[in-house]
Chain A
Amino acid sequence: MRAVALLLGLAAAATAPFWVWNPYHLHTLIMAGIFAVLALSLNLLLGYTGQLSLGHAAFFGIGAYATALLTVKLEWSPWIGLLAAVVLPGLAGWVIGRLALKLRGAYFVLLTISFAGCVSLVSVNWMDLTNGPLGLPGVPALEIALPGLPSLSLRTKVAFYYVVLVAVVLAYLVCLALIRSRVGRALVALRENETLAASVGIDGTHYLVLAAVVSAAMAGFGGGLYAHYTRFVSPEVFLFTYTVTMVIMVVAGGKGTLAGPVVGAVLFTVLPEALRAATSWQWQMLLYGILLVAVLFFMPQGIVPALRQLGSGVRRRASAS
């Protein structure tokens, strides 16, 4: 049953540009994809190791700036830029993980907020590097240039949609591969009972750093994609709104599951677009806040686990009757 739904979903996703005619809707799907990558990255920390990073937009932003700076100021290839968008935030994640050492819970959150705050201030104040509030326009589009063939610029929405789709699948597979292994068990052990984990030889710091690095690198990747899609990067990428959106996607979608963040990402990108016609973004954010509280009260596990429980309940009733 689940396999069928999955196949249908994949088929729909793969053919979307052919039946989503409105280019604005396609844009929405592209943003949903980028956020899915971000949500999956945050989920690694929040859902699996149990630590909340409220500064995750910082990794997103560093990735965006990394590729923007390299491609605009140094005129390097966007693919190198994307690589930098993965490596630099990954490094930042390593720093955070090592700084955190024994910090857990609220203290870890505060560390991440402080880090994000500092990075944000630098992006605004260090005008020589980042152009400050004016931002960096003119970020080039991704381009596939194989020898012998004409270069294919991935600047159309359709082309970029497929780039993002591949990115989401890649991110999902990376998370899956990690979770379904000894590494994933160690991460979960951190969340469930770190003292017990240490008593069986699991190095909490090592695995937290690992989760932080992969999580940050993935978020940076999302930032790189964002930069080459919108072709403009400004300190707005560090807005707390992005972090909040990521958190809501993960928590409402279902932290600790792999489908949850993806479902959450799609839901919370499509929903605001539907609301946009009716209301302003302030109402949207207000609703987010209320929704976060409501989900935590009534569906603390998130939507995907709730649906699964519903599904197994229906199956049980069906087989009983």
Chain B
Amino acid sequence: MILEARDLTVRFGGVSALAGVSFQVAPGTVTSLIGPNGAGKTTAFNVITGFQRPTQGTVRHDGETITGWRAHRIAARGLVRTFQKTSVFGGLTVRENVLTGLHLRGRVGVAAALLARARVRAEEERLAGEADRVIDFVGLGARRDELASGLSYGDQRLLELAVALAAGPRLLLLDEPASGMTASEKATVAGLIGRIREQGVTVFLVEHDMRLVMGISDRVLVLNYGRLIADGDPAAVQRDPEVVRAYLGSGAHAHA
């Protein structure tokens, strides 16, 4: 198991954002986390990736307990996440964004930057090549030198994906990667996720678009009011009466 969550609980005030959530993610798979709005999906992501501390429970990655670790340390282990609200480095170009994402792939520190310019030059060349590869992979090659803040919404989300990929994830957590996208943009994202999986990266995603979720997932987890109410393959989950109730009850639709 590449990721193991046990008894995750997040409580503040009198509210439980997560209540005793346990699940496992197998390597090389695409797992989706779904549920009505406010079910705790982003909270789960935050806890797994170190952006929030759980009140109780543990998160284990590759056999090591990472609960409560700071976010950048968890990222350094290969767990990289994207954010629900579009998150890019607005004032930088697409290339600069991705270069920043390649931080973990570089090694130059202050000493080298000041005293070993040859090493810096070599690293910059290498990173530039890798950046180009990632930018081309997501299809933003034509916009390489444009400012991130000037990109269209769909392109910004692609850039977000590129930055996350640049960090070299072994487990990629995507928080609503297709939200607000047109049908063709969603198809692009689905295709990218497929290709990412082919490269051996495990994908764990939160999504609302059921067609997308059912189309690419090996496994689906369903959260409702902070509790895990279903865990299985897409077809089984779709038929699960409690899942249907959760969605209809909250007014949301189970079909995209």
A contacts, CB < 8 Å to B: 174, 177-178, 180-186, 188-189, 192-193, 195-204, 210, 214
Contacts and interface: CB of A to CB of B under 8 A. Distances in A.
B209 interface: no
B101 A200 contact: yes
Contact of A178 (B70, B88, B96, B114): B114
A189 B163 CA distance: 12
A178 B110 contact: yes
17 contacts: A182-B127, A183-B110, A183-B113, A193-B88, A195-B51, A195-B83, A196-B163, A197-B100, A198-B72, A199-B75, A199-B81, A199-B87, A200-B75, A200-B163, A200-B166, A201-B104, A214-B110
Contacts of A200: 75, 80, 100-101, 103-104, 163-164, 166-167
Contacts of B124: 180-181
A302 B199 CA distance: 46
B90 to A, nearest CB: 6
Contacts of B123: 181-182
Interface of B: 49-51, 70-73, 75-76, 80-83, 87-92, 96, 99-101, 103-104, 106-110, 112-114, 117, 120, 123-124, 127, 163-164, 166-167
Contact of A195 (B76, B87, B96, B114): B87
Contacts of A184: 113
Contact of A188 (B87, B88, B100, B109): B100
A209 to B, nearest CB: 11
Contacts of A174: 114
A195 B50 CA distance: 11
A185 B100 contact: yes
Contacts of B113: 177-178, 181-184
Contact of B100 (A181, A189, A210, A214): A189
B103 A177 contact: no
B46 to A, nearest CB: 10
Contact of B103 (A178, A185, A210): A185
Nearest to B112: A181
Contacts of B127: 182
B245 to A, nearest CB: 35
A188 B106 contact: no
A178 B113 CA distance: 6
Contacts of B120: 177, 180-181
The 8 closest A-B pairs by CB, nearest first: A201-B75, A198-B71, A192-B89, A200-B167, A181-B113, A201-B104, A182-B106, A203-B72
Given A181-B113, A199-B83, A192 B92 contact: yes
Given A177-B114, A182-B123, A199 B99 contact: no
Among A177, A180, A188: residue with most chain B CB under 10 A: A177
B99 A185 contact: yes
Nearest to B119: A181
B96 A185 contact: yes
Given A182-B107, A188-B89, A199-B82, 6 more contacts: A177-B114, A180-B120, A184-B113, A196-B163, A200-B103, A201-B103
Contacts of B88: 193, 196
Contacts of A180: 120, 124
B104 to A, nearest CB: 4
A229 to B, nearest CB: 26
Contacts of B80: 199-200
Nearest to B82: A199
A193 B90 contact: yes
B88 to A, nearest CB: 7
Given A192-B89, A192-B90, A201 B76 contact: yes
A182 B103 contact: yes
A193 B163 CA distance: 13
A199 B110 contact: no
Nearest to B107: A182
B131 to A, nearest CB: 11
B100 A199 contact: no
B72 A188 contact: no
Nearest to A204: B72
B96 to A, nearest CB: 7
A188 B91 CA distance: 10
Given A199-B75, A200-B80, A200-B164, A189 B89 contact: yes
B103 to A, nearest CB: 5
A204 to B, nearest CB: 7
B103 A186 contact: yes
Contact of B49 (A181, A199, A204): A199
A204 B70 CA distance: 11
Given A185-B96, A199-B49, A192 B104 contact: no
Contacts of B112: 181
A166 B110 CA distance: 21
B104 A181 contact: no
